[in-house]
Amino acid sequence: MSATTSIHGMWSTRLAFILAAAGSAIGLGNVWRFPYTAGEYGGGAFVLVYLLCVAAIGIPIMMAEILIGRRGRQSPINTMRTLAEREGKPAAWSLLGWMGILSGFLILSFYSVIAGWTLAYVVRAAGGAFTGIDAAASKAMFDGFVGNPEALFAWHTVFMVLTVMVVARGVASGLEQSVKWMMPALFVLLLVMVVYAGWAGDLGAAARYLFAPDFARLQDKAGEAILSAMGQAFFSLSLGMGAIMVYGSYLRHDASIARSTVMIAATDTLVALLAGLAIFPMVFAHGLEPGSGPGLIFVTLPIAFGEIPGGSLFGALFFVLLVFAAWTSSISILEPVVAWLVENRGFSRVRAAIIGGTGAWLLGIACLLSLNLWSGYTVAGKGILDLFDYLTANILLPLGGILIAIFAGWVLPRAATLDELGGTDSAGYRLWRFLIRYVAPAAVALVLLNGVGLFKVIGLA
Ligand code: TRP
């Protein structure tokens, strides 16, 4: 039998879990990363592939992560080891947990830098810096900001401290309390932004761009685009590194994993699409470039806020909520390593959170320097920040996803997954098992190998 509780604490209700997991999923990935990545790959076709990845790969893998976590009730490293040993399988399955810790450090390091941008933009908005700003001035403001290592360093540090503070307070009083009201507020403000963008910008052009798939736009970048769409799905749903797994380890046994997952994935997707509909109308109305990269929202949104009556207030509020969204995500990236330090090193939660946060903070300094002083150092044309982002979302998370799918589909006995997924051998359960055993691992592997160009190298494509 499995333990019924975790030593780290438990979510008080199923709703608390859904909010925490949705809080993890909804973040910079939706509002910052999704629009600019979709823009880089030409819109609609990318969005369509993204939606397919969420449905056919993301949802089954999220269910697998949650059920593995709940079965093991420990940090991903120890959960994987315990469950594998119970089935007489190699303890080396714990390496999946270690890979997740590595991904977590890499993600948190650059995530905190970008979250720092949103903090800085709260102050700018509130100070009236957006008032009457045009596209060129907005771009100049953004370029000036990322070119300033001291400013990036200060905001990165502030955000990391915020993250450590919540994780240090623990599951119930830290994580759970912080997510309850921030998510609904973000949602409402995003709707306001969509309405505004529809009124002031070119909503028709944005909708066509996002929802009319034009596969010709992908051209010879199709493999890379599909890999990026899948990577975005993993990143946005917080999958492949153990964040959702560790959140699952705090979930009560009687809560439905399938229903929770559908709610989490649906909200996450809705927020990403709304973010697209808030941003692209402004992009097209102001003749900006959809493929202009990570600065996209930091250049377009200020223009919108600069025109709205009360834009300084709305702008500040919007970036505050974006900070909250990033915050409820960053805590989930730090949680797996903190749980492990508490379990295996006997550290207090506070000490574990500080140690984990400091590690990611140090790596983050390299990320922020890559935007200015170190911009000359690149690997395959990417600076450190871009490289960490690419490596995690497009390679490490999908690899983690394949292993999670294999573990849930082939290593865990059918009876165990059936028990976690409600106990009735329904059509839904059989569909999940089919997706997790065959579809998810094969699809992820194909997209991965094709996207990194392996088929080209060996002459198959
Ligand atoms: N999903 C979050 C976002 O979209 C980021 C995130 C949180 C994440 N936890 C994660 C990404 C774990 C990958 C893995 O902003």
pLDDT by residue for the chain (461 residues), tens only, comes to 467 899 998 988 898 899 999 999 999 999 999 999 999 999 999 999 999 999 999 999 999 999 999 999 999 999 999 999 999 999 999 999 999 999 999 999 999 999 999 999 999 999 999 999 999 999 999 999 999 999 999 999 999 999 999 999 876 665 566 667 777 888 888 898 899 888 889 999 999 999 999 888 877 789 999 999 999 999 999 999 999 999 999 999 999 999 999 999 999 999 999 999 999 998 999 888 899 889 999 998 898 888 878 889 888 988 988 998 999 999 999 999 999 999 999 999 999 999 999 999 999 999 999 999 999 999 989 999 999 999 999 999 999 999 999 999 999 999 999 999 999 999 999 999 999 999 999 999 999 999 888 777 776 66
332 lines ligand 1 (CB under 6 A): yes
Task: Collect all residues with Cβ–Cβ distance below 8 Å to 236 and sequence separation of at least 6.
Answer: 25, 29, 30, 33, 34, 54, 268, 269, 272
Nearest CA, atom 14, ligand 1: 238
In this predicted structure, what is the pLDDT of residue 172?
Answer: 67
In this predicted structure, what is the pLDDT of residue 174?
Answer: 59
In this predicted structure, what is the pLDDT of residue 173?
Answer: 60
238 lines ligand 1 (CB under 6 A): yes
Nearest CA, atom 10, ligand 1: 238
Q: What is the DSSP string of 87-121?
A: TT--GGGHHHHHHHHHHHHHHHHHHHHHHHHHHHH
Q: What is the spatial distance between Cα 194 and Cα 32, in angstroms, rounded to a whole number?
A: 15
Q: If residue 298 lies in a helix (H) or strand (E), which one and from where to where? A: helix 296-307
30 lines ligand 1 (CB under 6 A): yes
328 lines ligand 1 (CB under 6 A): no
Q: How far is the CA of 232 from the centre of ligand 1 (A)?
A: 10
Distance between first and last Cα of the chain: 48
Q: Which of 24, 167, 337 to mutate to test the pocket of ligand 1 (most atoms within 8 A of CB)?
A: 24
49 lines ligand 1 (CB under 6 A): no
**pTM value?**
0.96
Task: Collect all residues with Cβ–Cβ distance below 8 Å to 435 and sequence separation of at least 6.
Answer: 56, 60
Q: Is 161 left (phi over 0), alpha (psi -120 to 50) or beta?
A: alpha
31 lines ligand 1 (CB under 6 A): no
Ligand 1 atom nearest the C-alpha of 103 is 14
Q: How far is the CA of 105 from the centre of ligand 1 (A)?
A: 12
In this predicted structure, what is the pLDDT of residue 130?
Answer: 95
Nearest CA, atom 4, ligand 1: 29
275 lines ligand 1 (CB under 6 A): no
Q: Could you tell me if 244 and 65 are in contact, meaning their C-beta atoms sit under 8 angstroms apart?
A: yes
267 lines ligand 1 (CB under 6 A): no
In this predicted structure, what is the pLDDT of residue 4?
Answer: 84
Residue 209 token pair: 């761009």
